[in-house]
């Protein structure tokens, strides 16, 4: 592997569970700093009902104000047709849809069965296609569910293929609660890649148990080349008790830099974005690289 894509999900997945409501100007500044750091794919917000995710209530105002750099995609999560209509209204460049491989998690997360959510996704993608808006898919709890425990990898493979079949250009196979080890990555990727092309598969690890980088190492053996992360390791999940944030973008980029794998992202500039986010949230984020001294190997 010579080059990977990193999808920075901090402005959406990183912020959505923060009680501290971040002012729109701070979100715009955060997205600007991430753009400056070199990310080419940034998940900027979510067109979800404010009742469910108060942090994203400003999505319609925020999105048009993002200073968009040519060559950078600013995407947004869309849970339903209503959200999609708003997304179209404000000119969203790319959307993401989501469902889970666990019926229980899906019920708790979005109050729908998996089949019902697939029907919603189909309607959303139909609208997206009319506007030539590409759709990414998220598949939650692929490595374990807080309610159902073990998840059969065959179901992960089938639903990944289903989302691609419905029109997703890529599916982010997600470890929502950060429970996976490289053994699970083996098991799940073998199943998923038996039904889908590797170019259409991304991975999304939360780092609850510190295994995210080890999992990503394992995924490189399968030629997976797209990984989600969040600046500073921000995030969590209200429907996944105890889940920590996404793997920290800093830690991931430090890993790839050391392995000679190109990301196109400046670690130093990324740290500025994360330190800014810390100052806004008034909390210390979990990234280890963010709070470690500069590597003496650089001198």
The span of 19-27, 47-55, 160-168, 281-289 binding its own copies (CB under 8 A) equals 281-289
Candidates 55, 238, 47; CA nearest to 140 is: 238
Question: Residue 63 Cβ, how far from its own copies at the closest point, in Å?
Answer: 32
- Considering only residues 115 to 144 of the shown chain, the ones binding its own copies according to CB under 8 A are 144
Partners of 262 in the beta sheet? 3
Tokens coding 149: 């425990």
237 is catalytic: yes
Tokens coding 1: 């592997």
The C-alpha atoms of residue 108 and residue 104 are separated, in whole angstroms, by 6
The C-alpha atoms of residue 100 and residue 90 are separated, in whole angstroms, by 27
The C-alpha atoms of residue 296 and residue 136 are separated, in whole angstroms, by 39
Nearer to its own copies, 13 or 207 (CB): 207
Q: Write the CB contacts of 147 (distance below 8 Å, at least 6 apart in sequence).
A: 102, 104, 105, 108
Q: Contact between 228 and its own copies (CB under 8 A)?
A: no
Choice among 142, 145, 168, 237 that is catalytic: 237
The C-alpha atoms of residue 159 and residue 7 are separated, in whole angstroms, by 21
The span of 14-22, 196-204, 258-266, 277-285 binding its own copies (CB under 8 A) equals 258-266
The span of 92-100, 118-126, 158-166, 287-295 binding its own copies (CB under 8 A) equals 287-295
The span of 46-54, 132-140, 165-173, 207-215 binding its own copies (CB under 8 A) equals 207-215
Q: Contact between 225 and its own copies (CB under 8 A)?
A: no
Considering only residues 87, 177, 201, 234, which one is a binding residue for its own copies as defined by CB under 8 A?
177
How far does Cα 189 stand from its chain's mean position? 18
Question: Residue 255 Cβ, how far from its own copies at the closest point, in Å?
Answer: 5
Extract the runs of DSSP E, i.e. beta strands, from the chain: 5-8, 41-46, 73-77, 94-100, 135-140, 170-175, 201-205, 226-229
Q: Contact between 244 and its own copies (CB under 8 A)?
A: yes
Q: Contact between 14 and its own copies (CB under 8 A)?
A: no
Considering only residues 82, 150, 190, 283, which one is a binding residue for its own copies as defined by CB under 8 A?
150
What 3 state SS string does 193-238 have?
A: HCCCCHHHEEEEEECCCCCHHHHHHHHHCCCCCEEEEEHHHCCCCC
Q: Contact between 216 and its own copies (CB under 8 A)?
A: yes
Q: Contact between 213 and its own copies (CB under 8 A)?
A: yes
DSSP three-state, residue 244: coil
Q: Contact between 52 and its own copies (CB under 8 A)?
A: no
Q: How many residues bind its own copies (CB under 8 A)?
A: 46
Q: Contact between 77 and its own copies (CB under 8 A)?
A: no
Q: Which residues are catalytic?
A: 237
Binding site for its own copies (CB under 8 A): 144-150, 177-184, 207-211, 213-214, 216-218, 241-242, 244, 248, 251, 254-255, 257-260, 287-289, 292-293, 295-299
């Amino acid at each position: 592997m010579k080059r990977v894509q990193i999808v920075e999900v901090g402005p959406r997945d990183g912020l959505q569970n923060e009680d501290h409501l971040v002012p729109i100007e701070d979100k715009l500044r955060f997205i600007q700093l991430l753009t400056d750091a070199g990310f080419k794919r940034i998940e900027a917000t979510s067109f979800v009902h404010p009742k469910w995710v108060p942090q994203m209530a400003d999505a319609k105002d925020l999105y048009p104000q993002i200073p968009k750099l040519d060559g950078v995609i600013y995407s947004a999560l869309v849970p339903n047709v209503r959200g999609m209509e708003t997304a179209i209204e404000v000119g969203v460049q790319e959307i993401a849809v989501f469902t889970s491989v666990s019926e229980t998690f899906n019920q708790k997360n979005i109050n729908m069965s998996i089949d019902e959510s697939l029907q919603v996704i189909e309607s959303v993608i139909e609208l997206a296609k009319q506007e030539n808006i590409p759709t990414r898919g998220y598949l939650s709890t692929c490595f374990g569910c807080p309610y159902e425990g073990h998840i059969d990898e065959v179901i992960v493979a089938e639903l990944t293929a289903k989302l691609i079949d419905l029109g997703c250009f890529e599916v982010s196979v997600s470890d929502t609660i950060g429970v996976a080890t490289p053994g699970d990555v083996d098991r799940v990727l073998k199943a998923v890649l038996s039904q889908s092309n590797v170019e259409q598969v991304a991975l999304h690890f939360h780092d609850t148990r510190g295994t995210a980088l080890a999992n990503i190492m394992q995924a490189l053996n399968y030629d997976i080349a797209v990984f989600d992360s969040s600046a500073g390791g921000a995030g969590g999940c209200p429907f996944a008790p105890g889940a920590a944030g996404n793997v920290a973008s800093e830690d991931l980029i430090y890993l790839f830099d050391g392995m000679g794998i190109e990301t196109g992202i400046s670690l130093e500039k990324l740290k500025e974005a994360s330190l800014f986010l810390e100052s806004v949230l008034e909390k210390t984020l979990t990234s280890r690289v963010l709070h470690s001294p500069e590597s003496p190997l650089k001198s």
